[in-house]
Structure 1
């Protein structure tokens, strides 16, 4: 098994030029060669949430969408979406409700590839450190309650600038952090807001931040990616 998972805050497909261009987001995922994508800010924020990635474009790039949307027009749960393609097969997905003052959430998806199943958790946490700590505790508890017990890979925009923040400490008690460079802002990355945490049983073959010219233009975050290898 070799599976490449990307996590990407797509900023509602609005790039550095202020234009909403969904095609750029999907082209960036193609550059990465992602088999699975955990997206943040994949829907409009207010009113009836609507996907910013048109269904015909997703189909053209080979993506299947996990059924997480709150309505027929939405792609995800509070903007968190899961896409799979190629040899990856979605076997289970669920939303995770997080305590928050503003709309926040996380999602869970089990993906089968070859003889292996991987549990993916995608999240976009609060700007407030107090709420981030509560949200990570709720997320860890929800993952522990989920059926079955495949190894987990947790990725997303955790909105934490400090290395020793309580939210990150909570995650590090459960999973090992995969060290990644800064990913925000995309034009001149200074903050490690986008992070990844892996179960000890997972063979993380490689990981990085995708920093091409297209990625710097497509969103205000650069995507991160992790490649998992197995037998």
Structure 2
């Protein structure tokens, strides 16, 4: 699906229209291989189901990629297991030598909400290919743009180029939206600075916060997500556009399903936009 958004004005929401609650999860799945080095897609599906989310943005998802993930279509299997719509955004897309289904790897959106628009945008940079999956989902009385991505580990300079490309994707017609994923940099990193002009870090906006600091009291409240066993980096993030509220943000226990921890954010999306 690839429908062009229009710039036609939308009616402003009335003062009596409450915001629409939307629960969103972002999670780097490490192609379903957990901290025990086992590929276990059922374990991953169990973690995701427990989050009870409306939208699930996944990074490092394999589709017939090879032995590391038992050559299965992870995106399709997870969408079926959770009974959710699927939008797919490959970063790697290669033909197979046996002539079968293409070998793919990238970002996925699982959604309880109807997906009205789905586009894949290649991001600049060398090394491992990177992309952004941009979707629009229908809400009851509104709509929400969701851009999911996974930035490079190569260098801050390449991440800066990718951030500039992401910022350019967010046009005036997409005034209500979120940008989520694994940014491989902390929210205050210089290369992420352009995001601050268009978005706000959801973790900072959240009225309630919960993380996995445990006995590491010195990291309490920081929302660290990587590495899963002893997190010390906040590289998995949700950024929201102006007007989108954040009721709560929580780092979940991944039950060993990945080398990252999932982040769940309870959004409050304006009605009538």
| Residue equivalent to 2:9 | none
1:99 aligns with 2:124: yes
SS state of the match for residue 43, structure 2?
A: helix
Match in the other structure for 2:196: 172
Q: Separation in 2 of the partners of 1:141 and 1:45?
A: 32
1:203-218 matches, cutoff 5 A: 203-211=245-253, 215-218=254-257
Question: Take 2:35 and 2:238, find their aligned partners in 1: how far apart are those partners?
Answer: 24
CA contact (8 A) 2:75 2:108 kept: no
Are 1:123 and 2:142 matched, yes or no? no
The 8 Å contact of residues 22 and 54 in structure 1, kept in 2 or not, is answered as no
**Structure 1 residue ranges without an equivalent (≥5):** none
Question: For 1:150 and 1:74, how far apart are their aligned partners in 2?
Answer: 35
CA distance in 2, matches of 1:186, 1:95: 28
Partner of 1:153: 178
Q: Which moved more, 1:197-206 or 1:59-68?
A: 59-68
State the TM-score, normalizing by the size of structure 2.
0.73
Q: Is the 8 A contact 1:12 1:42 kept in 2?
A: yes
Match of 1:90 in 2: 115
Work out the CA distance in 1 between the residues paired with 2:103 and 2:79. Answer: 11
Contact (CA 8 Å) 2:64, 2:72: kept in 1 or not? Answer: no
- Report the Cα offset of residue 164 of structure 1: 3.1
Gaps of 5+ in 2: 1-19, 95-99, 204-221
| Aligned counterpart, 1:59 | 80
User: Which one has a bigger Cα radius of gyration?
Assistant: 2
More off after superposition, 92-101 vs 60-69: 60-69
Deviation at 1:169, TM superposition (A): 0.9
What is the TM-score of this pair, normalised by structure 1?
A: 0.86
Match of 1:202 in 2: 244
Classify 1:46/1:52 alpha carbon distance in 2 versus 1 (closer, same or farther; 3 Å): closer
Q: 1:18 to 1:168 in 2, by over 3 A?
A: same
* CA 30–80 in structure 1, closer or farther in 2 if over 3 Å, else same: same
Following the alignment from structure 2 to structure 1, what is the Cα–Cα distance between the partners of residues 250 and 150? 19
